[in-house]
A and B are shown apart, each in its own frame.
Chain A
Amino acid sequence: GQSLEQPSEVTAVEGAIVQINCTYQTSGFYGLSWYQQHDGGAPTFLSYNALDGLEETGRFSSFLSRSDSYGYLLLQELQMKDSASYFCAGDMDTGRRALTFGSGTRLQVQP
């Protein structure tokens, strides 16, 4: 089957570092994406990992380990505006070429 698991909520303070984990179960896998969604807004693309390792884009980094069926999104120097929901999404090898999303992690950044 296809499923992606992530924590439902995470709380952190401004300036801190937070890691949002995503584990997946699937028989085949092309890559892992991360999307950010503010309340009332559209999900927006943050990053994509096709290969194992770390991808860095400014304050955000994403990591993938295929052998562990695991990835994470790392947010550094947290700002209040980072308060949002974060979704991991898998590009699965099921014959379907469309993303399967996790249920999302709501990040609350506190002063």
Chain B
Amino acid sequence: ETGVTQTPRHLVMGMTNKKSLKCEQHLGHNAMYWYKQSAKKPLELMFVYNFKEQTENNSVPSRFSPECPNSSHLFLHLHTLQPEDSALYLCASSQGLAGGRDTGELFFGEGSRLTVL
């Protein structure tokens, strides 16, 4: 069983659809993240949750709506998306919020490849 699991791996949706991305971590971590990865661009932080509470919203449009029901699960609800939202959406978890070994090392899922038509 992998540490961070994301479903679905691939998603194609129209601009008027509503869909959700799911992330589950089996590592006992306290923090979970959503990152957006587009070609030739840095991984872009979207949301951070620590102990189920949102600690960071990086000016993400409201058509992306996160949900964190517990420390092991994270969702990203999608509605009325635009074609430019097509990207790889990566979920990650960490024990703490710092960036380094033993505390804040990020463990990533393999991502959900989203295509908006």
- Interface contact A30-B98, CB-CB below 8 Å: yes
Given A42-B108, A42-B111, A44-B108: A33 touches B43 (CB 8 Å cut-off) = no
Main secondary structure of the interface of B (DSSP, over half): loop
Minimum Cβ distance to chain A for residue B38 (Å): 10
- Interface contact A41-B45, CB-CB below 8 Å: no
Main secondary structure of the interface of A (DSSP, over half): strand
A103 to B90, CA, bound (A): 15
Partner of B110, one of A4, A8, A42: A42
Minimum Cβ distance to chain A for residue B23 (Å): 12
When distances are taken between beta carbons in the complex, the residues of chain B under 8 Å from A35 are 106
A8 to B42, CA, bound (A): 11
Which A71-104 residues have C-beta < 8 A from chain B? 87, 89-91, 96-104
- Interface contact B56-A31, CB-CB below 8 Å: no
What per-residue 1/0 map shows which CB atoms of B79-108 lie under 8 Å from chain A?
000000000001000000111110011111
- Interface contact A104-B100, CB-CB below 8 Å: no
A90 to B41, CA, bound (A): 16
- Tell me if B74 is interfacial: C-beta within 8 Å of chain A: no
- Interface contact B99-A99, CB-CB below 8 Å: yes
- Interface contact A103-B101, CB-CB below 8 Å: no
Minimum Cβ distance to chain B for residue A3 (Å): 9
- Tell me if B48 is interfacial: C-beta within 8 Å of chain A: yes
When distances are taken between beta carbons in the complex, the residues of chain A under 8 Å from B35 are 101
Which B6-47 residues have C-beta < 8 A from chain A? 33, 35, 40-45
Beyond contacts A43-B106, A102-B42: 16 other A-B pairs, Cβ-Cβ < 8 A, are: A30-B98, A30-B99, A33-B100, A41-B110, A42-B90, A45-B101, A50-B100, A87-B43, A91-B99, A91-B104, A97-B104, A98-B33, A98-B48, A98-B56, A99-B104, A100-B45
Chain B residues near A (Cβ < 8 Å): 4, 33, 35, 40-45, 48, 55-56, 90, 97-101, 104-111
